[in-house]
Amino acid sequence: MEAIVGDFEGELNELREVFKSGKTRDISWRRSQLHGILSLLKEREGDIFKALNQDLGKHHVEAYRDEIGTVAKSAKHALGNLKKWTSSKRAKLPLSTFPGRAKLVPEPLGVVLILSSWNFPFGLSFEPIIGAIAAGNAIILKPSELAPTCSSVLANIIRDYLDNSAIKVVEGGPYVGEKLLQHRFDKIFYTGGPRVGQSVMTAAAKNLTPVTLELGGKCPAVVDFLSSSWDKKIAVKRIIWGKFGACGGQACIAVDYILTQKKFAPILVELLKKYIKRSYGDNPMESNSLAKIINKKHFSRLKELLDEPHVKSSIVYGGSSNENDLYIEPTILVDPPLDSEIMTEEIFGPLLPIITYVADTLPFGGVGGSGFGSYHGKFSFENFSHQKAVMVRGYLIDFGFRYPPWNNKKLQLLKSGLRYDYITLVFIKLGLKSKA
């Protein structure tokens, strides 16, 4: 699929017209697009596997687990719940509005921009697309240029399987992203790092465009060894999977570092070594189960983290690398300096520091730098929807105490009405007594 070029105004106008026509609001259209996603995942699975292996060195089992399988599950979930999600919901009104009734109607936002990331190119593109489609929006997707093969495959399969009048793909680098952000969208969904996230927010603010940012962070795993031998083994295997098994640690949900008591650290290190070898062999570089670093820029960044003098001395396992193959060995560090870059920045790679402590608790946390907004399942639908308030009011009964001229009797009726149900208000209107 050819990249859309120019200032994008023509393409955006086309999308706005399609949205205004009501086409994307039609439930049958939403269903057809979700079924199209399921079809392309099944029929183009081989192309997706090849692209993920070429750009990231992902094994096809990992690719299915983390991208194709999860996206298929999300699409099926959206299809199964679409009627429920799109249904209006009753809302309460002040009693003084009787006999009015109100409801919340989920409304699509309009034309939305999705900026996806390179580490899970298909998953982080289709997950928000599914939510945007389910909610009835028109969409522009810009995949990451750092995974060029995946970007090209995404553009081609979306062209072949989805409605190109309402769902478009724009390929290109930072310049293309900057040009897109100069335009007004009804929603921007960005997955990536905090630095670019700030730029997205700045651009969106000019048009007061709502934004969802899915950024990174320092995600610790807290290990307490006051448990059985079996629990220790399972915990360590899960940590290894959560750190190295998801795109070689290049994931925002990957374990960033471990917190454990000082007395447990030696046991933990030995268990980590044991299960790293079981997962990736004596020479992980020869394993086809460990993803490569995305490019030389990120490879150099990770090497620089390790090459800080006081950090290098904290390595207790691993540390080898090969720039030509963009390979970095799973590496364990114990107590690198807390003010070093490896402990102040998101690692995003196969480096696992262990921070030990003797106090009972340590304060860690934060939300701003890790982004805001949420998605997956119904949260994706809600992310790209607006709950429009709708009130419907009949003419059978109308309370005169809501209108001037004002007097104390009306004031008392208003005050009483806030504490009574609708039937009691009818009794008050008719001048009858009730048990209320």
Both tokens of 383, joined, read 């992310």
Which residue, among 321, 241, 250, 246, has the nearest Cα to 275 in the 3D structure?
241
Which residue, among 244, 257, 250, has the nearest Cα to 284 in the 3D structure?
244
Give catalytic status of residue 214 as yes or no.
yes
Give the separation between CA 101 and CA 98, rounded to whole angstroms: 7
- Cβ contact 215:369 at 8 Å: yes
Both tokens of 155, joined, read 């553009």
Give the separation between CA 372 and CA 369, rounded to whole angstroms: 9
Task: Say if strands 315-317 and 385-393 run parallel, antiparallel, or are unpaired.
Answer: unpaired
Cβ count within 10 A of residue 315: 16
Give catalytic status of residue 247 as yes or no.
no
Contacts of 126 (CB under 8 A, 6+ apart): 37, 71, 74, 75
The CA-based angle 293-294-298, given to 5 degrees, is: 75
H or E segment and range at residue 260: strand 257-261
Catalytic residue among 67, 171, 214, 382: 214
Strand partners, 355: 259
- Cβ contact 268:224 at 8 Å: no
- Cβ contact 112:139 at 8 Å: yes
Give the separation between CA 67 and CA 434, rounded to whole angstroms: 62
- Cβ contact 52:65 at 8 Å: no
Catalytic residue among 62, 219, 252, 329: 252
Residues annotated as catalytic are: 214, 252
